[in-house]
Amino acid sequence: MSVRLLKKLTAALAVSVTALTATVASAEEYPTRPVTIIVPYGAGGTTDISARKLAAMAEPLLGQPVVVENRPGGSGTNAMRSVSAAKPDGYTLIATTSSPLFVTPALRPVGYDPVKDFVPVLNYSGPFHGVLVKADSPYQNIDELIGAAKSGSALTYGTAGAMGGAHLAFTSVSRETGAQLQHVPFDGAAAATAAVLGGHVNISLVPAYRDLVQDGQLRLLAVLDGTRDPDFPDVPTLKDAGYDVEFPSVVGVVAPAGTDPAIVSKLEQVFTQVATSAEYKEFMAKLNQPVRIMTGEELGETIARNLEVYRALAKEMGQAK
Amino acid sequence: MLVDAFFALLDIWVLVAAVSGIVAGIVIGAIPGLGPTMAIALLIPVTFSMDPIPAITLLLGVYQGAIFGGSISAILLNVPGTPSSAATAIDGYAMARAGQGGKALRIALFASVFGNIFSCLVLMMLAQPLASMALNFGPAEMATLMLFALTVIILFGGGAKLDAAIMVLVGICAGIIGLDPIEGTPRFTFDNFSLENGLQLIPVLVGLFAMSEVFLQLFNRPKVSAGTQEVPELLPSKVGLIEMWRMKTSLFLSSVIGTFIGILPGIGSTVPAFMSYSLARSRSREPSSFGKGAPEGVAAPEAANNAVTGGALIPTLALGIPGDAVTAVILGAFMLQGLAPGPFLFRDYGVEVYAIFEALLLSSIPCIIFGLLLFRVAVHVIRIQPRHLFPAITILALLGAFSVNNSMVDVWVMLGAGVVGFLLRRSGFPLPPLLIGLILGKSLEQSLRQALLTSGGSLEIFTASPIAAGFLVIIALCLIAAVVFHLKARNPSEKSATGDV
């Protein structure tokens, strides 16, 4: 008997849920149930922690729980693929980064199109990547470094992994200038930082360098981003230094394509309010992560532009399929 | 500073955090598939609003507890709760089948505590110099070190050396699946996105050790009825201080290995556990007792895998460079508490950091108390009929494999590894070398290729670095020693030379 009751209940529940989802189309009522933000990396990393804080602070503004769910694997592409296939109702979002947005998709089939399958909501962070050498290295600035690689022996540079944004950016520098720069990929940025500290590579292109630079163990020659790192305002970007490359590091929220524009703009407004708040900035400062706001539109342009650049670069390098 | 730090500990919340961290860690570690990384990641949001010292004490307690907890299921069920306790299972389970489960657990507990205290003291006293030493280990040094680890495990791990070598190679080959570590091109993924990360360690581990055990039992049905299988008597499980004292050299050497390898990035705690096991076996007067329930075979890997915790924290805290997933998560936790790891941590937050270390040392006390209490219940698991136990293990194995990435592919990998493990065990091949081959294969390939990239393809890089050259010499000596021993053992009894190659 209880089984029959259970069945009835389940059926009733199923009907009401379908009814609910059908009526929820209107944006004024949004959200009427919990919103899920997928994080394409494991729990406990900086992307995860910063997204959790963003979600927690957005809850009172949205009036509904905002749940963060980790779906790691495939350098973030697994989660992107599943969100691209999710219902575009504003209840499934993803807090994602440069790599699955415009680096990996430029290199190999990933099962989604970062431009067509998503609507960008906003960008709220993105760690600066630097060009770092050991403090006792002879190179005082980026021009000396490139000059040496042009005339002398090849210099080695470590990055967080094969075919990442930093690798592609420096490949482009090397092509543009004829400098002999040999890439050595490591398993993550931490290992690449250790390698330059230990003198196993000449250069490393990594984020999270602040304390090691301030301690005088590493020297920051340039940043790969389009804008200067506020912690080191005197250090030029590669563009400032006259090299026409940039690796913009983004951490932003995107929704599946087809999400009601009114919902997207509501989310953009709420998340922007959270990310610009003093509390959030203070939290991110503790994590050694910058707060970098871009509107959804700007984020969309950044993704589309860089996807093109990286596709072209990958094709030249013979990696594109 | 140490005294100030001690006063900072006189807070009831630190005690609560230490005890709950250790207990939660032990329980989570004992469940196959749930490791310290997941436990800590899940608890980080809980610590958001806590004070720094109790928050970090809680998380590090979970870390230590989980590494030890893995050995409980390894000893009682032959199912390692964490990869690092796979070595403990060899002799621990043999002891448990002989009714000495309680004793094995106690030895594991005391050895773990020893390893923890040892590495924690090293961390407190030598963090800065050792962190700089770790930086000397570049690709060339790492490659030779890994080669050395593989040599030790093949030569001294017990069993036929040829079998072990074959298994290591199988493991290395399995590690080829996934993205090429240098070029980033997919290898043997058959256009399946889920295989791009390669075979995940936890599903493979759970499959090889836990599922294969289930399959073995399934096909080993007792000929008569399944009525009463031999349930081992529970023997008295006291472990005297004298018995632990007799293992002091093993405990010490294992802790040194664990701490040292912990400091180096990316190797983890499974490899030092097996290296210590092999070393203890080769040093033992009766190496033949290993694999059949030798107490030192439990103590050595447990001391080593727990000692890794302190070692792994050294580069994480002193340089802000985490060596693996667990320490990366711990790094995040430190940052959230405003204690940014890196060159300034000890200078700016000395009191907090030393208070945390002292809390870690002192949490050995609750660890022993709760460990012993838990054992009273846990040892009875061994008396449960296998046919009642194995369905539960199967469910845990399925859940554990799925929970790593929430991916069904991992479940299939786990089941596949279970079948492979079953076939290999049936045919008498040892599984640990396979696991080590899988863990080290990709890193070895990566280091080797990184070294050759930095040297422009010249092999000189392996002899130019004193550390790398040193490891190569030690490898050569190990090989020579193995050959000499083999010939020596063979000569006197030429007639009855059995094929223990």
Per-residue pLDDT tens over the stretch A16-51:
555 455 444 567 788 999 999 999 988 778 898 899
Per DSSP, which regions of B242-314 are E strands?
none
- pLDDT band per the 50, 70, 90 thresholds, residue A1: very low
Residue with tokens 């394409």: A40
Q: How far apart are CA B59 and CA B236, in angstroms?
A: 34
What is the signed CA dihedral for B444, B445, B451, B454, rounded to 10 degrees? -150
A residues 223-282 lying closer than 8 A (beta carbon) to B:
none
Q: Which residues pair with A127 in a beta bridge?
A: none
Q: What is the pLDDT of residue B496?
A: 46
User: Strand A130-134 to strand A203-206: parallel, antiparallel, or no bridges (unpaired)?
Assistant: antiparallel
Contacts of B406 in chain A (CB under 8 A): 71
- Assign A154 to helix, strand or coil: coil
What is the Cα–Cα distance from B131 to B127, expressed in whole angstroms? Answer: 6
Which strands form A251-256's sheet, in the order they lie side by side?
A66-70, A35-39, A92-97, A251-256, A118-125, A294-295
List chain B pLDDT tens, one digit each, 501 residues.
778 888 888 888 888 999 999 989 998 888 877 778 878 887 887 887 888 999 999 999 999 899 899 999 899 888 888 888 999 999 999 998 888 888 999 999 999 999 999 999 999 999 888 888 888 999 999 999 999 999 998 998 877 899 999 999 999 999 999 888 888 888 998 888 888 888 988 899 889 988 998 898 888 766 554 444 555 666 666 777 788 888 999 999 999 999 999 998 878 899 999 999 999 998 888 888 898 889 999 999 999 999 999 999 999 998 888 877 888 888 888 888 888 888 888 888 888 899 999 988 988 888 899 888 888 888 887 777 777 888 888 988 898 888 877 788 899 999 999 999 999 999 999 998 999 999 899 889 999 999 999 998 899 999 999 999 999 999 999 999 888 988 887 776 554 444 444
User: Which is it for strands A118-125 and A294-295: parallel, antiparallel or unpaired?
Assistant: antiparallel
State pTM to two decimals: 0.84
- Residue B336: in which H helix or E strand, if any? helix B325-336
- Of the candidates B44, B180, B443, which has its C-beta nearest A44's C-beta? B44
Asked if the Cβ–Cβ distance from B454 to A108 is below 8 Å, we say: no
Per the structure block, which two tokens stand in for B186? Answer: 């997919």
CA atoms within 13 A on the CB side of B478: 20
Residue from the list B180, B193, B332 with its beta carbon closest to the beta carbon of A44: B332
B478/A contact by beta carbon, under 8 A: no
**Does ipTM top 0.90?**
no
- Residue B335 CA to residue A100 CA, distance in Å, equals 25
Q: Which B positions 343-362 lie with beta carbon below 8 A of chain A?
A: 343-344
- Pull the structure tokens for residue B107: 């030895």
Residues from chain A contacting residue B329 (CB–CB below 8 Å): 42-45
Q: Does the CB of B199 have a partner CB in chain A at under 8 Å?
A: no
- Cβ within 8 Å, pair B443-A43: no
A271 class by beta-carbon count within 10 Å (0-12 exposed, 13-18 middle, 19+ buried) = buried
Domain spans of chain A? 31-126+250-316, 130-223
Quick one: which H or E segment has residue A66?
Answer: strand A66-70
Q: Which of B309, B80, B292, B278 is nearest to B168 (CA)?
A: B278
B455 burial (CB, 10 Å; 0-12 / 13-18 / 19+) is: middle
Name every chain A residue with its beta carbon within 8 A of the beta carbon of B183: 162-163
Residues 196-225 of A with CB under 8 A from B: 197-201, 208, 211-212, 214-215, 217
Of A214, A218, A216, nearest to A197 (Cα)? A218
What gap in Å lies between CA B64 and CA B111, rounded to an integer? 13
Residue B143 burial class via C-beta count within 10 angstroms: exposed 0-12, middle 13-18, buried 19 and up: buried
3-state secondary structure of B325: helix
| Cα–Cα separations (whole angstroms), residue A91 to A67, A193, B444 | 10, 38, 44
Listed by start position, the domains of chain B span 2-221+237-493
Residues 6+ apart with CB under 8 A from A85: A256
> Which chain A residue's Cα is nearest to B131?
A194
Q: Tell whether the model's pLDDT for residue A7 goes beyond 70.
A: no
Chain segment B46-70, per-residue pLDDT in tens: 887 888 999 999 999 999 899 899 9
Same fold: A31-126+250-316 with A130-223: yes
Tokens in use for B475?
A: 């490898």
- Which residues on B lie below 8 Å from A111 (Cβ)? 193
d(CA B311, CA B243): 27
CATH topology of domain A130-223: D-Maltodextrin-Binding Protein; domain 2 (3.40.190)
- Point out which residues pair with A68 in neighbouring strands: A37
Is B268 in contact with B70 (CB distance < 8 Å)?
no
Fold of A31-126+250-316: D-Maltodextrin-Binding Protein; domain 2 (3.40.190)
pLDDT for residue A320: 41
Three-state DSSP class for B481?
helix
